Amino acid sequence: MSSPAFSNSGPGMLYQGALTPVTGRFALIAARFNDLVVERLIRGAQEALHQHGIGPEQIDLIRVPGAWEIPLAALHLARSGRYGALVCLGCVLRGQTDHYEYVAGAAAQGIARVALDTGLPIGFGVLTCETLEQAMDRAGGKAGNKGAEAALAALEMAHLLRRLAPLSSVSSPSFPAPSSPETL
């Protein structure tokens, strides 16, 4: 016997984020390593935020040496209380050594830990690819732009966390909670 599908037509509430402008600042943390790819991720993230009403004055760009350094910068920015969301952008390409696994894994785990430890929404736009061609495809090529997708995920999560704030003892750092879920 199959269980009934969840629906929002019943007595429960549906909470989800939105892709509409918010008051607050965004930080794009971008690695300089593999800059050919990362520059395209940055442009994608900026354009996506602009298309959804986030002005250039609300977006700061922070450059770090490589993907390994992104989590530490993210932690400092998250703790600053200045930002309502972060977007982490980088590119790690597989080489002929184990270095790829260490850098890619540390970046992913570190960014996730910052988000969980601080409660700040963080869009993950660190590509982990086998080849430069695959990375270029994901940075504005035939597979879309993962920088844009990461920025929109951060925007959507900023909205969602604002909506969830009244239900939780965890607060969203730089975006004040609305008075009711309908005000988003």
Catalogue the active-site residues.
99
Burial class (CB in 10 A: 0-12, 13-18, 19+), 12: exposed
CA distance linking residue 160 with residue 180, whole number of Å:
12
Strand order in the sheet with 26-31: 59-64, 26-31, 85-93, 122-129
CA distance linking residue 176 with residue 90, whole number of Å:
29
Count H helices and E strands in the chain, helices first. 5, 6
Kindly report the length of the chain: 184
